[in-house]
Amino acid sequence: MGFPIVQYTDDTLLLVQADAMQLVCLKSLLNTFADSTGLHVNYSKSSMVPINVSPEKIENLAQTFGCTVGTMPFTYLGLPMGTTKPKIEDMFSLMAKIERRLNGFSSLLSLSGRLQLVNSVISLITTYTMCTIKLHKGVIDNIDRARKQCLWRGNEQDKKVATWQHGQWSRGQKKKEVLG
């Protein structure tokens, strides 16, 4: 019983034939591992994704294994996995993840902090994805728009300028007040 295993930290991807006996043997193996190490598989968080298997058979196999039935594409290590090229809709979670990170922190950061966030975090998320998947132009445009908005959005501190008042520099007035 040989089958490929892809594993990174606590995420494991097993590719097996849709055979009840193989699943019973695999579950037995995993339970033996759990008994000897104390590291248990949470089957309720696991899913079985069928490829060319009838719905009745996959439902039976999932009940045998004690997991749910998933669908293509599914996410593994933050990337959509499927048998076809990902559609732009499959990348919505990536775009939402980037926008959440940018919107959550950018109002609290200075310009140099926002630049560091965009270069060190957001560019790396995009690069990681692009190492595996060829992104659609629309996805890249959306990510670039979000990065630009974050970088040039600013915060209240950036909107204040230093002014000369009564023989000393003051840093409390906003640009509108100085310019208007």
Q: Got the DSSP string for 99-137?
A: HHHHHHHGGGS-HHHHHHHIIIIIHHHHHHHHTTS---H
pLDDT of residue 165: 54
User: Where residue 169 falls among pLDDT bands split at 50, 70, 90?
Assistant: low
Three-state DSSP state, 22: helix
Per cent of the chain over pLDDT 70 is: 83
Question: Is the pTM above the cut of 0.85?
Answer: no
